[in-house]
Structure 1
């Protein structure tokens, strides 16, 4: 027998024979290999030139030829390498395909554009995203494709609706960089959303042209208003968010309770909602056909039900606004229903892998988003766990008991799979998230989503009232559970941000444990243990400086002390969250570490002394403060200033971003945000847009200060 194998299976004498033996299960690793190439692209510190990408394309072609002619031992490796190269090329192509102008300076003036997205900011103000933007004194080729404006005005204005062309006087800036070196870089997310400026307005929003087209957006708003009218209070806002994706009515307190109880995922129209919707429609259609024997005997009821469920998923995608998370959920549902149409088992790891491949090809940037990571982590873990249980003889009790145990088991597996991602991304663990999900997800699946489908079917004949009443009861129960769980002692556990390598290595170990067949899979547990050990050794910077120079954060034995209780609120919140510190900003500012007046806050960092100077005090105090072994931080610009100190002024910070400092002997190890972020399209500004201002002003830096 060939290679001494048994039953046609080659003997494992050669190291690559393990791949030959596992060739029937290797497809599930295809998205992992592609993700490796995409992740490699996003981890680069410098954007490769066209020549290097041409070499990669040539290499991909050669590897594909090698895969065609290679034997069974080398073909899996060749295909894996091709997927890695293909992932990098797809990510690069997407990055340059979405390129759009980024505002190169601070702007104050009229902003005109069409409303495309309505949501709320972190500060709970309404917010609009506009496309087809026009800015005064800014050329069309330098105008961002999209801008986002937070509406802080107290004067009444119009209620914006999708499709309206509106005008407002706003303050705009380029998308901000990370709050600290290596932190979350909003610029990258904005780049792929073609969002070239963000800002705020205190003046009222005015209607320039009524909505034309965008009928789906207006229908969505009308449905949300109708649901909130029939279901009062926050349950109505929750029901509207679930049905239409419109979350403008969700109060800040409600959102906080949902996050603290690990139920915030119920607000985002994602895989859970799409799965519940399509599952209910599929089951209802199949049952309806089964109740009519002539049809059940003559028609493929299962496939007809799958087509109907797919149509419902498409309608839900269109009605909900088609967010990135909803698009991912639709792709996953379409793959599963396509498997039913092809007479294949729907819930398999191959189906999950195919859905992941499609999404990574269309939106490779999704790999860096917590939504993608958590969706596929939960789905993969659930399919793998139930697959491992399939065929086992252990079947406890009656059907209701089995259903209850399956629910608890599903919540446990999904929560375990997503917990590290949630902790790394949001710096918190919901201690009682399993309890909240066990009490809420069944109501979501058995009451809220079926009632939403029935209400949609009965609304044209005016009989949606009973279904909406049931939907409101379900929403009320979920919010009550969220409020109760969020109020429990220790409901939220703060978590320190892990080193950048931890999450990818942890994911690789988990995938090896779930996907590999054979004893090598247990090596995944060792890889995961190493990653978790690395997480526990995470170190935070001794001193952080905000990108505007108005705030410094000093690590002390009692936690990070802040130089101000009011300055740079977003940076302060981000620093404390990344430290795994649950203290409020005021409490952190009251910690010992800084002394002196508000205009000159002094501190010590090892043998170095430091001072944070206010903008107005800096001209008079800068010379005296700048001495040997001193760190001077100021929100004022100090062009041309020379002295023996290390100075971080508004000009240098505007060019280089936030700063992290660690003392090491007689040296200071300084990391700057833009040095860590590298020379990437979303970091650097396109030359035509950043070199000059249209109003004749001086060239501007990224932060808006004149060089």
Structure 2
């Protein structure tokens, strides 16, 4: 024993060290503390005389002390690698600046500035404030340049205006919608009757019916009503043109007739049908024509495989649960009923539907945990081999396969990159959950898809992950410090241990939801104008179900599908999804109004800066997050709310009346547009217009009360009917009846509409008039403050300079409008969604007939050109966001 102890006291490295004389050994010197002046970074000292010592001696000394203290903290942060953590922040800032510019910048200045600053950095010594400032500018320019290159590479052909044409194209994707229709994504190969001179390369079109057996890779043809991608439904809202441009979608619309296959399907090999009946994974390979490019054939094979898996899951589970399961496994979520989507949104559970980091982490965790448990059954092998790395490799392969079968959406790609970086870190014995790995993931995502930086998915995903990593690091430090100072707790009974683990799990879930919710709340409020009040408790109730019953059994069901043994696993998954829907419905009906109104950009930027300091700093620099957070919170209530919204086609107008309701001028408005306006104006109820058949009504400027309005409307109708019934009999038939037109007071709670115009009074007293043409608008110049004319050819000017006029041509060129009323007698302020000169994703707007001041085509209606069933009225007119 003594020999073993003595041998154990000797380091094993000394047994292999070369024999040397004692005199030749260099004595070890103790480390010397670095003085602030010797560090490679320090803040510049305050100049003498900046503050008169007789006036502010204490303040000057305090500022000098703070300068030295903060300089040491910054130097320590840089020594710990904070400079690298800021690289994705500055890259993202450069990309945001590019997309926020009101004009399209040229390549030469950006490239020249990048090269010039890079050359200066190469010549300057690598120390001091100047070096780091120039490095930050260089990284920003690189992000700016990456965004410019991505825009140039996309070069999507966008349709200029609405048109009906015969489209022939190859099916690239098939989505079965919840309303029973089917949406096809087509790679256009030809157009006819008329032949488009600038046809888009890819379109999306929905159809009531599709040919039997239609699969991805087949070629179809049919008459399609095409519309250009719509712009934002209001200024500073989600831009469909922007997203379509980078998704390479040049137009959207619907089939006016059932599309037809252009070529007969190739014969199936013998036994294919039987094999497909037994195993849906071996799908419609027979549609992959040899003449297709190799990439198209692979894409069609993947899409058909996804559709086959989705159909198998729907058959096994059924109902809304089957649609959600298909969305979780293969990313096909178009068939989820809207009522279920809304319940998930109101309760903050909608993140479960999108394949994101949560799902990737659960898949990787299920694979790693299962394999490590399996390896533990063979202790001899597990003790000699790095089984943790083997499990990490298997988990990496599993999430790669998950990304493959899920369609490779941008959110899934981003989540895969994050998990792949972390699993790779495990292979090199590095910590998986670290800010450095998160920074590497963010850099890769920004370089691959810079446009995602301005989207809610990227911002909320990385904000939540950064907050969770930072909170976990802080908690680990506190736990380590407490373990060094406190004694080991006494042994507990098995029951108490189990109870403690359950409590720790519950507290961990609650802390995770709180941290992630706080980090993403401002981004969700800015992009969607809603915050789920019951998100915390709903996630606490639903996430254990998702983590235990849904995702693990989804992984096992997918793994068992090739062997036909997936039914039991998908059954359990379906029961878990049923429980999740019950939780979402229960909290949704009890959730208060989740609309928060508009959030200013300044608030988002300030809180984002606070988040950077709070999550990336490890010293007292974390305190710098407090003033930014406070200023951001104060700026949340500083957004100016518009008084009136006007859609980009000029047909829909809405304003918030004095009772907090949203009054609209159409009985069947586009639901997506209205929902966005309701959240922006914090209105819960829609007030439809009051229709009148008499267009001769004269309006007086006195406001009408709710009681007098109905009486005035009834009186006007009676007078009109009496005039039409009695007066013509007293005059020759050749002469029209001359009666005094009825008079009304302008209502303030809802639009009063006749065949030519709609009128309403704003709570401030100003009057809004919507007319179909300039002739009907002329009389409104005498009393209206805002006139909207649904006519691109209208040319109208009122005598009063305080009257604002918005025409269909203005809206076609500049997009939807938000109007702010000033003081009584002042001209309203109009803000459009699209600025000029146009960016590449808006350049197509200038080619529409309305933007050129031309009337729409007047064609003789045909039976084929009627609006198809299930097509909303406004969608047929081009107002649909699809």
1:703–1:544 CA distance, 2 compared to 1 (3 A):
farther
Matched, 1:579 2:681: yes
CA distance in 2, matches of 1:361, 1:159: 40
CA-CA distance at 1:667 after TM superposition: 3.4
1:464 aligns with 2:566: yes
Distance 1:494 1:699 in 2: 34
8 Å contact from structure 1 (residues 313, 330) kept in 2:
yes
Contact 1:174 1:702 in 2 (8 A): no
Greater displacement, 333-342 / 72-81: 72-81
Asked if 1:54 is matched to 2:111, the reply is yes
Q: 1:668 aligns with which of 827, 841, 851?
A: 827
Aligned counterpart in structure 2 of residue 199 of structure 1, from 253, 257, 275? 253
In 1: Cα distance, 2:449 partner to 2:210 partner: 39
Tell whether 2:579 aligns with 1:484.
Answer: no
**Aligned partner of 2:97 among 40, 45, 58:** 40
SS of match in other structure, 1:445 = helix
CA deviations 1:296-348 (Å, max 9, x no partner) are 23322111111111100110000011111110111011011011011100001
Worse-superposed segment, 534-543 or 368-377 = 534-543
1:440–1:39 distance in 2 versus 1, CA, 3 Å: same
8 Å CA contact 1:224, 1:244 repeated in 2: yes
Structure 2: distance between partners of 1:702 and 1:472: 55
1:278, 1:700 → 2: CA distance?
A: 52
1:181·1:676 contact (CA, 8 Å) conserved in 2? no
Does residue 1:111 correspond to 2:167, yes or no?
yes
1:695 is aligned to none
Alignment of 1:527-538 (within 5 A): 527-538=628-639
Instruction: Report the Cα distance in structure 2 between the residues aligned to 1:158 and 1:702, rounded to whole angstroms.
Output: 44
Deviations 1:536-577 (A, max 9, x none): 122212222222222222343323422233245543332222
Residue 272 of structure 1 aligns to a residue in which SS? helix
- TM score, norm. by length of structure 1: 0.90
1:454 and 1:437 map into 2 onto residues whose CA distance is 24
Native 8 Å contact 1:562 1:588 kept in 2: no
Take 2:200 and 2:119, find their aligned partners in 1: how far apart are those partners? Answer: 40
* Residue 261 (structure 1) aligns with: 347
Distance between the aligned counterparts of 1:430 and 1:646, measured in 2?
38
- Matching residue of 1:409: 511
350-359 or 407-416, larger mean C-alpha shift: 407-416
Tell me the residue number matched to 1:506: 607
Aligned match of 1:370 in 456, 460, 463? 456
Deviates more, 1:543-552 or 1:186-195: 543-552
C-alpha distance 156-680 of structure 1, shift in aligned 2 (>3 A): closer
Q: Describe the shift of the 1:437–1:159 C-alpha distance in structure 2 as closer, same or farther (beyond 3 A).
A: farther
| Structure 1 stretch displaced more, 505-514 or 69-78 | 69-78
CA 1:699–1:243 in 2, change beyond 3 Å: closer, same or farther?
Answer: closer
What is the DSSP-based 3-state SS (H/G/I as helix, E as strand, rest coil) of the residue aligned with 1:647? strand
Match of 1:249 among 308, 330, 335: 335
Aligned-partner Cα distance in 1 for 2:827–2:519? 39
* Equivalent residues of 1:2, 1:10 under 8 A apart: no
Q: Does 1:445 align with 2:547?
A: yes
Q: Quote the offset at 1:202 in angstroms.
A: 4.2
Hey, what does 1:344 align to over in structure 2? 430
Distance 1:304 1:596, change over 3 A: closer
Change (3 A) 1:237 1:629: closer
Which of 55, 65, 76 is matched with 2:122 structurally?
A: 65
Are residues 444 and 572 of structure 1, via their aligned partners in 2, closer, same or farther at CA, if it must alter by over 3 Å?
closer
Cα RMSD, aligned residues only: 3.1
Is contact 1:281-1:309 (8 Å) kept? Answer: yes
User: Cα distance 1:581–1:624, how it changes in 2: closer, same or farther (>3 A)?
Assistant: closer
Q: How many angstroms does 1:62 deviate by?
A: 2.8
Between stretches 660-669 and 171-180, larger displacement belongs to 660-669
Q: Compared with structure 1, are the counterparts of its residues 176 and 704 closer, same or farther at alpha carbon in structure 2 (3 Å cutoff)? A: farther
1:175 aligned onto 2:229: yes
Alpha-carbon distance between aligned partners in 2 of 1:201 and 1:143, rounded to the nearest angstrom? 17
**Structure 2 gap ranges (5+):** 1-31, 46-66, 266-286, 289-296, 484-488, 490-496, 692-746, 858-882
Q: Are residues 410 and 3 of structure 1, via their aligned partners in 2, closer, same or farther at CA, if it must alter by over 3 Å?
A: closer
User: Between Structure 1 and Structure 2, how many residues are aligned?
Assistant: 691
Deviates more, 1:636-645 or 1:101-110: 636-645
CA–CA distance in structure 2, aligned partners of residues 663 and 378 of structure 1: 38
Give the distance between the partners of 2:149 and 2:664, measured in 1 at CA: 42
Residue pair 2:168, 2:222 contacting (<8 A) in 1 also: yes
Q: Secondary structure at the match of 1:250?
A: coil
Larger of the two Rg values belongs to structure:
2
Q: Distance in 2 between matches of 1:146 and 1:464?
A: 36
Output the CA distance in 1 between the equivalents of 2:448 and 2:855: 34
Superposed displacement of residue 194, structure 1: 1.3
CA contact (8 A) 2:317 2:571 kept: yes
Counterpart secondary structure, 2:821: strand
CA distance in structure 2 between the partners assigned to 1:557 and 1:527 by the alignment: 35
Q: Does 1:647 align with 2:805?
A: yes
User: Which residue number in structure 2 is paired with residue 516 of structure 1?
Assistant: 617
Go from structure 1 to structure 2 and tell me whether the alpha carbon gap of 1:3 and 1:339 turns closer, same or farther (over 3 Å shift).
Answer: closer
Higher normalized contact order (CA 8 Å, seq sep 6+, divided by chain length):
1
Equivalent-residue separation in structure 1 for 2:829 and 2:178 (angstroms): 30
Where 2:262 maps in the other structure, the secondary structure is strand
Give the structure 1 partner of residue 203 of structure 2.
147
CA contact (8 A) 2:181 2:206 kept: yes
The 8 Å contact of residues 116 and 129 in structure 1, kept in 2 or not, is answered as yes
Matched-pair contact (CA < 8 Å) for 2:643–2:818: yes
Decide which moves more: 634-643 or 238-247: 634-643
TM-score by length of 2: 0.73
**Residue 378 of structure 1: how far off its partner (Å):** 1.3
Alignment of 1:206-221 (within 5 A): 206-209=260-263, 210=265, 211-212=287-288, 213=297, 214-221=300-307
Match of 2:650 among 541, 546, 549: 549
Measure how far apart 1:416 and its partner are: 2.0
Q: Which moved more, 1:586-595 or 1:163-172?
A: 586-595
Distance (whole Å) between structure 2 residues aligned to residue 173 and residue 481 of structure 1: 39
What SS does the corresponding residue of 1:167 show, helix, strand or coil?
strand
- State the match for 1:163 in structure 2: 217
The alignment partner of 2:654 has SS state of: strand
Q: What's the CA shift for 1:642? A: 4.8
Instruction: Give the 3-state SS of the residue equivalent to 2:432 in structure 1.
Output: coil
**8 A contact 1:147–1:195 mirrored in 2:** yes
Q: Secondary structure at the match of 1:128?
A: strand
Find the partner of 1:636 among 776, 788, 791: 791
Output one character per residue of 1:474-498: Cα deviation in whole Å (capped at 9) or x when no partner.
22221221122212242x5211021
Q: Confirm or deny: 8 A CA contact 1:118 1:248 kept in the other structure.
A: no
Match of 2:839 in 1: 680
CA contact (8 A) 2:107 2:148 kept: no
SS in 2 for 1:671: strand
In terms of mean alpha carbon deviation, does 52-61 or 411-420 score higher?
52-61
Between 1:57-66 and 1:229-238, the stretch displaced more is 57-66
Cα 1:100/1:8, change in 2 over 3 Å: closer
Q: How many angstroms apart in 1 are the aligned matches of 2:197 and 2:400?
A: 36
Task: Tell me the alpha carbon deviations over residues 224-244 of structure 1, each in whole angstroms, 9 at most, x when there is no partner.
Answer: 111111113222222221111
Conserved in 2, the CA contact under 8 Å of 1:104 and 1:700?
Answer: no
Question: d(CA) in 1 for partners of 2:250 and 2:418?
Answer: 31
How far residue 128 of structure 1 moved from its aligned partner, in angstroms, is 2.4
Instruction: Report the counterpart of residue 751 of structure 2 in structure 1.
Output: 594
Q: Secondary structure at the match of 2:843?
A: coil
